[in-house]
């Protein structure tokens, strides 16, 4: 009651300005004497928590002209500043991403990959961008085995694929940008040069990577202070990265893939037994791709096709659409059971069919996200019993660290962008004095020669990071994403159920308790044998947990994870509604 009372007294509609100590004391006494009245007032002010989730979070952010939502407030503010100065949503997204590479370097950066979905308001058209990198030309399954590994190591230079992020910035800028690339990078350069505060959750991530960073001098130089990770509230700089950003701002992506930055990456790679060469960097390209969609109760949900896992969310939603989810009740035993079994089916297909379509021809993508296939898949679900072993279907009808951000501008151009190093600080290697870590996406290749996702030269690995967008009546309704490796398509499906089936706003959809299923077959060849593990957050009732156990689920309490950000466009009022993950350090900021 004490905490709630203080929140009420500080509510912007009641305020403290001009209220005497005497009046404050009187109001506090009233709240203590009449808790029911106090609680009803707080609920009226927006402090009620739906569905039993005990965590307090924030209100929906609303603004008329533009908005950026991401996992660090400095990055969101940098994007909004770009919008205020005449840039568009694409310029703002690049600015926010560049700042995140400075302030949240374990999760993202120019040593990683990027995917985006863009709505061009003028042309009224959606565009997809795959800026993920390919494996080195000199790699092979035989070479990995010769070096003593039965699969690509999680850390170290053998896990490198060519970083695609900078090519993604360039492609976005060239097609849609309004202002010079250097302007979008300027806020990040200032933070890298002059310093930035290390926030609470990011400090925890940083501390968890202290041991791996201390193993190499270049990683220590970039990301440690006197051999230690910076603590919460410390000021950190990254002047090597500022120098790299300045070069990219002047010369564009060419500086990264052909200039002195490329030479530094290749030199370092050779010195530590890596396989990425100047040739690999120079021949890299980002590709514009067609987003794919499935309808869900009158909304069109858009994802990118493989090599990412976005279509898993569409497969899950297609099964959901055959049930009255709203009638089941939010986070009921029936819903969580259905969700878990639908996820198992989608992930079994993910393990078999999701790969690089430029190399693996005739992948059954359209069939996997079709309604006909979903009807057949749904018949495999037993609502009374959890499946222990789930093979892939036949679609023929004859730990990951990531950042997500979204931006909307005055003209209602929309960007849904996700960018990642994969594991915290990626491979654990900084390729010279450049201030960024190289990703370890290559570890997601399979070593089975018959697998679609098998390791081969110049091939994109399976990817976990997925941006999303929802349209209704031919216009963007929601731009959103949920970070967190295998949680991403699971989170996409849960958030959309919360909004579409249960009528939640964009913030409540994030705050509501989540569930996550771990242990499905993987695209690297790991096989689920025991039904996996179902993790539920504290907002799920004990009665539901007990019922799920009776149905054969291995249930445990914990954090389901994720890193949700979202912006909804309300065309009736002309307002943008922003929601941001309370489990992260960021916010939605509008103007």
**Contact predicate 548/336, CB 8 Å:** yes
Count H helices and E strands in the chain, helices first: 23, 19
**Closest by Cα among 174, 64, 176, 179 to 120:** 176
Helix axes 333-353, 487-496, angle to 10 degrees: 140
Alpha-carbon span 17 to 228, nearest angstrom: 43
Alpha-carbon span 499 to 276, nearest angstrom: 44
573 labelled catalytic = no
Alpha-carbon span 86 to 178, nearest angstrom: 8
Alpha-carbon span 555 to 538, nearest angstrom: 12
**Contact predicate 251/137, CB 8 Å:** no
Length of the chain: 591
Alpha-carbon span 331 to 489, nearest angstrom: 17
Q: Which residues contact 197 (CB under 8 A, 6 or more apart)?
A: 233, 234, 235, 236
**Closest by Cα among 516, 445, 459, 436 to 482:** 516
Alpha-carbon span 421 to 424, nearest angstrom: 7
Which of 340, 402, 406, 471 is catalytic? The answer is 402
- Cα distances (Å, whole numbers) of residue 398 to 169, 367, 372: 41, 10, 11
Structure tokens at 29: 């006494």
Alpha-carbon span 54 to 73, nearest angstrom: 24
Structure tokens at 306: 């493989």
Q: Which residues contact 327 (CB under 8 A, 6 or more apart)?
A: none
What amino acid positions are annotated as catalytic residues? 402
């Amino acid at each position: 009651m004490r905490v709630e009372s203080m929140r009420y007294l500080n509510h912007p509609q009641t305020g403290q300005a001009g209220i005497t100590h005497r009046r404050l004391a009187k109001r506090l006494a009233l709240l203590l004497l009449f808790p029911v009245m106090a609680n009803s007032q707080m609920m009226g002010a927006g402090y009620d928590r739906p569905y039993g989730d005990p965590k307090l979070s924030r209100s929906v952010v609303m603004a008329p002209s533009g908005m950026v939502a991401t996992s660090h407030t400095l990055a969101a503010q940098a994007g909004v500043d770009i919008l205020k100065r005449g840039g568009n949503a694409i310029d703002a997204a690049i600015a926010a991403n560049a700042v995140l590479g400075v302030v949240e370097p374990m999760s993202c950066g120019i040593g990683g990959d990027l995917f985006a979905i863009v709505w061009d308001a003028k042309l009224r058209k959606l565009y997809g961008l795959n800026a993920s990198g390919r494996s080195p030309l000199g790699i092979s399954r035989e070479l990995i085995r010769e070096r003593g590994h039965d699969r690509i190591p999680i850390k170290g230079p053998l896990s490198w694929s060519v970083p695609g992020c900078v090519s993604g910035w360039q492609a976005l800028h060239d097609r849609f940008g309004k202002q010079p690339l250097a302007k979008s990078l300027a806020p990040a350069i200032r933070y890298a040069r002059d310093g930035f505060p290390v926030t609470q959750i990011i400090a925890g991530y940083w501390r968890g990577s202290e041991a791996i960073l201390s193993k190499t001098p270049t990683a220590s130089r970039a990301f440690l202070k006197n051999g230690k990770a910076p603590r919460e509230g410390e000021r950190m700089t990254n002047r090597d990265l500022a120098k790299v950003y300045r070069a990219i701002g002047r010369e564009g992506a060419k500086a990264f893939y052909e200039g002195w930055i490329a030479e530094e990456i290749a030199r370092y790679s050779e010195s530590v037994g890596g396989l990425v060469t100047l040739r690999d960097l120079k021949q890299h390209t980002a590709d514009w791709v067609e987003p794919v969609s499935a309808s869900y109760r009158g909304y069109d949900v858009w994802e990118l096709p493989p090599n990412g896992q976005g279509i898993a969310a569409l497969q899950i939603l297609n099964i959901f659409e055959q049930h009255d989810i709203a009638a089941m009740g939010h986070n009921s035993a029936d819903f969580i059971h259905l969700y878990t079994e639908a996820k198992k089916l989608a992930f079994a297909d993910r393990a078999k069919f999701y790969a690089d379509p430029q190399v693996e021809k005739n992948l059954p993508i359209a069939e996997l996200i079709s309604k006909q296939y979903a009807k057949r898949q749904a018949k495999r679900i037993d609502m009374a019993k959890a499946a222990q072993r789930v093979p892939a279907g036949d679609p023929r009808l004859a730990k990951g660290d990531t950042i997500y951000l979204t931006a909307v501008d005055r003209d209602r151009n929309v960007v849904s962008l996700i960018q990642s190093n994969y594991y915290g600080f990626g491979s654990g290697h900084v390729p010279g004095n450049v201030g960024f870590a190289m990703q370890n996406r290559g570890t997601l290749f399979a070593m089975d020669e018959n697998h679609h996702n098998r390791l081969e030269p110049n091939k994109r690995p399976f990817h976990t990071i997925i941006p999303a967008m929802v349209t209704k009546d031919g216009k963007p309704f929601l731009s959103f994403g949920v970070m967190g490796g295998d949680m991403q398509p699971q989170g996409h499906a849960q958030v959309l159920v919360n909004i579409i089936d249960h009528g939640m706003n964009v913030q409540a959809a994030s705050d509501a308790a989540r569930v996550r299923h771990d242990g499905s077959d993987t695209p690297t060849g790991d096989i689920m044998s025991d039904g996996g593990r179902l993790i539920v957050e504290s907002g799920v009732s004990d009665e539901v947990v007990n019922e799920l156990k009776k149905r054969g689920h291995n249930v445990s309490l914990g954090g389901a994870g994720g890193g949700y950000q979202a912006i909804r466009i309300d065309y009736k009022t002309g307002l943008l509604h922003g929601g941001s993950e309370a489990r992260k350090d960021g916010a939605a900021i509008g103007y």
